[in-house]
Structure 1
Amino acid sequence: MTTTNPRAGFHPTTARAPVSLPPMPGERQARAAYPPVDLERSWLDGEELRFAREGGFDRALAMGFFLLRIPDGLHTAPGDRFATHFHEEPAGDDLDPYRGYRHADVPGTYQGYFDREHDQWENFYIERANWALLPPEVSRLGHGMTALGVAVLRAVLRHVAVPEELWSRVSGGLTDNGGHQMLAFNHFRSRKDTRGCKFHRDSGWVTVLRSFEPGLLALIDGELGAVDPEPGYFIVNFGSSLEVLTSALPHPVRANVHGVVSTERSAGRADRISYVTFLDSALDGTVYQLDHGTARPVQSVADFAAQEVSRTYDNDGAL
């Protein structure tokens, strides 16, 4: 689907060129049409991000997606349960701590339950300052996933030679475990006859995704491919703030376009679920571009986030 939107009001540096995309397919059509992407596999070794294949780091930066091994001791089962049940009403059993979040009162901007008008998506978003509202074991998982994401960000900035004295400023404090750290839980309602979620780019720095089945499509080198999960790994992708920062460097980081197919289910089969940590700068921060060792401010994070969010959840199909 081709956009002719002149993008009035979009920032010339951060908006990027329009992208032509097909309509989001259903999962059966996607399996037949789009082969899996050969993702790089990685693990964290202290502060170092190691890749299984030579040159894997640079390929991961160019693809915008890679697999990160889940560390021993990081227990994902609580997050799996929460993603499965957060949208349900309490039922008077042991799973009730994971239910009832459609009605949760979460203080702060852009948090709580969202019923997406144009997508199968329904979400529960909650920022780190409010994780005490979650079951304690889910909060612990959130802290573990964000620690992984921050470690990935620091390793990437080191790899592409961003001066370390700039890290905290350009990331809005995220490299020092500040910034904006959000948990997002997703349920895709197969009974809703629409796309899973729109093709979009993440707006922040690093996203750490726990997914369970194929259905994520990404535009890599001009071709759509399936970004499939692998047991024992998170899927990591890069956000637009990192792409903008590194766009003039010898090895820029790509924030590639991605979305989720329409979930199709036979009777009795559970719907698709997933959950992520989004790592971003605080809304009162600044988006920067690195130019010959100087961090040049290009846009406020608040304006950038509004620009990106408007393209993620609307119904025009354009990006």
Structure 2
Amino acid sequence: MTTANSRTARAHFHPTTARAPVSLPPMPGEQQAQAAYPPVDLERSWFDGDELLFEREGGFDRALAKGFFLLRIPDGLDTGPGDRFAAHFHEDPASDDLDPYRGYRHADVPGTYQGYFDREHDQWENFYIERVNWSLLPPEVTELGHRMTGLGVAVLCAVLRHVQVPQDLWSEVSGGLSDNGGHQMLAFNHFRSQKETRGCKFHRDSGWVTVLRSFEPGLLALIDGELGAVNPEPGHFIVNFGSSLEVLTSALPRPVRANVHGVVSTERSAGRADRISYVTFLDSALDGTVYRLDHGTAHPVQSVADFAAQEVSRTYDNDGAL
């Protein structure tokens, strides 16, 4: 299993993709954040077939610029299994009906950077599992994973179409993700309120599209130089864009932003459940290439493996900078 430290050691910072350092305040507690940072006015969207529609005129372009938007959960998509898994994966078995969702701190998940992680500098504890290993999950969680990744791939294709990336380049530049290949990972998060530190560090996602199931305020994002609260909306996923999409579109008339975000320090009174969330991370295959599109030509910039190491190395450390 690859650790954040080993990834840091082999990170090669690229002059084009390693963006300028960002000055950010210390991650606040949730009460301080609620008082200090207003909610971001997120665009609301839904799918009609493969067409991504937005409630407001110009909503698609504003979503690309903010890096976040709300996506209506389709009828018939049951998030209950994922909700239960996120709430219980870190617990030991207790000999009841929830045991299929417990005991994953000790699960042996083959492959790189998968399994249980206890974050030294964060309230975060995570369980990461790539699609090839989803058979280790309860079947209903596996089904939800496929549905969520399907939505994420559909978002990616809708964005590439909207910003006019030639369709014959989609599979190449996305490392096969546009054809439902690439790197598809489920990540379940539990924020331990008894641990007096940040929820998680400010960071950018490294891939293409992230589909987030969140339940309460606490996610902060830096948009147009200002921190704001990216709050969940009942019946919706939160979607945000990753750095691979930002690099690809940086020279286009409508570039996509991968904005910096993180989670506040969770504060709880006795008896109140901790914060949980879960996501699908959609990325290129690690043996692929990061591209920048310019005048209809895809220019290779960096290997996906080096780009991922570069981005992840700054997500889990404790240097207070990004």
TM-score relative to the length of structure 1: 0.97
Letter in 1 for 2:19: R
The aligned residue for residue 47 of structure 2 is: 44
Distance 1:126 1:144 in 2: 15
The aligned residue for residue 255 of structure 2 is: 252
The aligned residue for residue 82 of structure 1 is: 85
Q: Percent identity?
A: 90
Kindly report which structure 2 residues correspond to 1:220-259, keeping only aligned pairs within 5 A, or say none.
220-259=223-262
1:152 maps to 2:178 = no
Q: Report if the CA contact (8 A) 2:50-2:158 is conserved.
A: yes
1:262 maps to 2:273 = no
Uncovered stretches (5+) of structure 1, i.e. residues with no partner: 1-7
> RMSD of the TM alignment (CA)?
0.7
1:69 maps to 2:110 = no
Letter in 2 for 1:260: V
Kindly report which structure 2 residues correspond to 1:1-319, keeping only aligned pairs within 5 A, or say none.
9-319=12-322
TM superposition shift of 1:186: 0.1
The aligned residue for residue 8 of structure 2 is: none
Letter in 2 for 1:141: L
SS at match of 2:320: coil
Letter in 2 for 1:277: T
TM-score relative to the length of structure 2: 0.96
Show CA shifts across 1:76-115 (max 9, x none): 0000000000000000001000000000000011000000
TM superposition shift of 1:16: 0.9
TM superposition shift of 1:47: 1.0
Count of residue pairs brought into register by the alignment:
312
The aligned residue for residue 3 of structure 1 is: none
SS at match of 2:148: helix
SS at match of 1:186: strand
SS at match of 2:313: helix
Distance 1:301 1:200 in 2: 18
TM superposition shift of 1:147: 0.2
Distance 1:45 1:114 in 2: 38
TM superposition shift of 1:291: 1.1
